[in-house]
Amino acid sequence: MITISNLCKNFGNLEVIKDVSFEIDEGDIFGIIGQSGAGKSTLLRCINGLESYNSGSIVALGKEVSSLSKKELQSIQKDMGMIFQNFNLLNRLNVYENVALPLRFWKQNPKDKENDKRIHELLKLVGLEDKINSYPRQLSGGQKQRVAIARALVLNPKILLCDEATSALDPKITQDILALLNKINKELNITIIVVTHQMEVIKQICNKVVFLKNGKIVAKGKPEELFVSSNEDIQDFAGDDTELLPKTGINIKLFFTNDNSTSHTITSLARKLNIDFDICQGKLENFRGSTMGSLIINIDEKDQEKVFQYFKDNHIDWEVIHHG
């Protein structure tokens, strides 16, 4: 649906996107994650033509974005709704008029039977039917983002672009908005591209993710693969703190998926090899409903050969954490 190849973008002498390539398929909830200044928002704006790019290519909905005339660009923008961190609602328009605004840009009368029905349906979808005459200042952050979502969907887009859409919201409201995005993806069959610095967002709704650092992709794949990988940049970003681990012996990180249970593996490791070890750190994480866990244990150096062999025999994913 969107193919990006060798994309580069500069602001003056500053390279903000460096040779980025990836593909987004129909039905994806595609995550672009990275720290502030990594170039992720700029990348998103290149996709719908709000920003130009210096070299490389973006083919969106079958068209090379940089080659489009102004009219063609506007028509591709019609197929891509967008929501923002700061919601960007017009303060002087009520909820209904805010949702109707993109229709007016396309010279459609919101009061037409069909359009009016659509606005009401969208407000129902986002759960704000009762706020139809309210003004943005009377709404909470989460409600404002819901209005923005309804507005972004009013032109029947094929793709929804989310620029840090939950970054200004508290954790509970973030959950609600993510659930809503998931619902939109499943029920309306809209492809969603999510730009965020929040790991939670990626874990909960994305089926694919690219990790951007200083304008470069340092990792891409499924979220569950990415976050349990030993990629230093990602671990650094996630704030995985290995400083507190024991300085003696060997620290080993084990990864668990739904298939093998944590306690079982560990207890049988102790029993079968008849060794002692410390359990230093463990956590379970939720990826779109499936649970992934990791556990860090500390073993004696003399035991390492047989422990490694044991992991190998039992098909357990593991890695040694080296002392920083």
Q: Residues in the site for another protein, rule: CB under 8 A?
A: 48, 50, 70, 73-75, 77-78, 80-82, 84, 86, 88-93, 101-102, 104-106, 151, 155, 161
Task: With beta carbons less than 8 A apart as the criterion, state whether 159 and 192 touch.
Answer: yes
Residue number, 90 or 279, with CB nearest to another protein: 90
Q: Whole-number minimum distance, CB 154 to another protein, in Å?
A: 9
Nearest Cα residue to 143 out of 204, 99, 188: 99
Report residue 136 CA to chain centroid gap.
26
Residue number, 58 or 82, with CB nearest to another protein: 82
Question: What DSSP character marks residue 142?
Answer: H
Residue number, 28 or 164, with CB nearest to another protein: 164
Q: Whole-number minimum distance, CB 177 to another protein, in Å?
A: 17
Burial degree of 6 (CB within 10 A; 0-12, 13-18, 19+): exposed
Extract the tokens encoding 240: 């995985």
> What are φ and ψ of residue 281, in 5° steps?
-160, 140
Residue number, 161 or 177, with CB nearest to another protein: 161
Q: Whole-number minimum distance, CB 102 to another protein, in Å?
A: 4
Q: Whole-number minimum distance, CB 68 to another protein, in Å?
A: 12
Q: Whole-number minimum distance, CB 111 to another protein, in Å?
A: 16
Task: With beta carbons less than 8 A apart as the criterion, state whether 191 and 159 touch.
Answer: yes
Residue number, 92 or 272, with CB nearest to another protein: 92
Q: Whole-number minimum distance, CB 78 to another protein, in Å?
A: 5
What is the rounded distance in angstroms from the CA atom of residue 123 to the CA atom of residue 281?
45
SS3 breakdown of the chain: % helix, strand, coil, rounded to 5? 40, 30, 35
Residue number, 105 or 283, with CB nearest to another protein: 105
What is the rounded distance in angstroms from the CA atom of residue 8 to the CA atom of residue 243?
36
Residue number, 72 or 236, with CB nearest to another protein: 72
Give exposure, 110-123, as e/b (b: 16+ Cβ within 10 Å).
Answer: beeeeeeebbeebb
Question: What DSSP character marks residue 324?
Answer: -
Residue number, 195 or 254, with CB nearest to another protein: 195
What is the rounded distance in angstroms from the CA atom of residue 287 to the CA atom of residue 292?
7
Q: Whole-number minimum distance, CB 112 to another protein, in Å?
A: 18
Q: Which amino acid is at 209?
A: V
What is the rounded distance in angstroms from the CA atom of residue 201 to the CA atom of residue 206?
7
Residue number, 65 or 161, with CB nearest to another protein: 161
Q: Whole-number minimum distance, CB 82 to another protein, in Å?
A: 4
Q: Whole-number minimum distance, CB 110 to another protein, in Å?
A: 12
What is the rounded distance in angstroms from the CA atom of residue 34 to the CA atom of residue 8?
17
SS3 category, 139: coil
